[in-house]
Amino acid sequence: MKKKAKYNVCVVGVGVVGIEMLRCLKQRKFPVDTLRVLARSAREIDVDGQKYQVQAISPQGFDGIDIALFAGTEGEKGAAVTYAAEAVKRGAVVIDNGADFRMDPKVPLVVPEVNAKEIKKNKGIIANPNCSTIQMVVALNPIYKKVGVKRVIVTTLQASSGAGKAAVEQLKQENSLIAQGGYDSVQVNVVNRAMPQQLAYNVFPHIGGFSDFDYTSEEWKLIKETHKIIGDNKIKISATTVRVPVRTGHSEAVYIETKKVIEPEAVKNLLSKSAGIIVVDDPKNNLYPMPKDAEGKGETFVGRIRKDPFVKNGLWLWVVADNLLKGAALNAVQIAECLIS
């Protein structure tokens, strides 16, 4: 991309991720000349007291744009499928938060702390990984580079906001109904359910559609995207993804089998010095990462770092991040920052 003092930027989509993209651009003082906001319908929105005029999306909406940030849609084809090629044709670089281009071998899949060098290989489109993948590879990569990784077993505990506004509203409605009328009231009173099961006072291991070997699409994303980002298809990865009654902030219990032995204290020291990571690990004083503390923060938090007493090279990590920020909007803006640097 040609170096400029300021850039014409477009944000496509004004759901939970699109709103966070607007916040990130402002908070990080991204050098914006013209900011254009596109969505399915024209309207005015308010984000933290600032008004944004939203235009109805069209190919012409990308005229003159340098960087187009697509907020993306999980579970269905995103706007980038229809409009990314048009944006690129008009001179923009597309950074897409949706799933549509992630596994395309011609499209870089980027987490800046891990593989920023891939950005320069773009042919007009750069993919933003899935939220649960991003925080795991941020924590995993320093260990992989230091001692190698043979195997990963991960269980995710994913917040309602990862499924969008409607899922957050469902959780809120269910909690309210239970508070007013007891547990059974949810079964009959919740309308327009966004998730396949009740979420309040419940968890369920179902994110995405069920696919090969009865793994969900979310579980396969963790596997395939991690292989692509780290650049090693030989890592054996198995995942279970779980939806939990948390508003924002994904948590992950990550088991790692390394190629060489590394002690927990060395892992703590390594991760403490790694970009984008904050280690919170003092269990005797009840200090460990929690989603309520990660919400609104851009770092990936790691704690409960401990060895497996029965497997020589086994390690456990507890990894937490804001799924709307580092897991989506912030990572996309960080890609844009690398692109212009």
The one catalytic residue in 131, 206, 227, 338 is: 131
Active site residue 206: no
Catalytic residue flag (residue 131): yes
CA distance 194 to 167: 5
Strands 32-39 and 50-56, by their bridges, are parallel
Stated as kind and residue range, the H or E segment containing 8 is strand 7-12
- Among the listed residues 10, 24, 227, 250, the single catalytic one is 250
Return the exposure string of 285-308: e unless at least 16 CB atoms fall within 10 Å of the residue's CB, then b: eeebbbbebbbebbbbbbbbbebe
Pair of tokens at residue 181: 């009328």
Query: How many of the other CB atoms lie within 10 Å of CB of 33?
Result: 12
- Walk across the sheet containing 43-47 and list its strands: 43-47, 50-56, 32-39, 7-12, 67-70, 93-96, 125-127
φ/ψ of 208, rounded to 5, equals 90, -175
Taking the CA of residue 200 as centre, how many other CA atoms within 13 Å lie in the half-sphere pointing to its CB? 20
Residues annotated as part of the active site:
131, 250
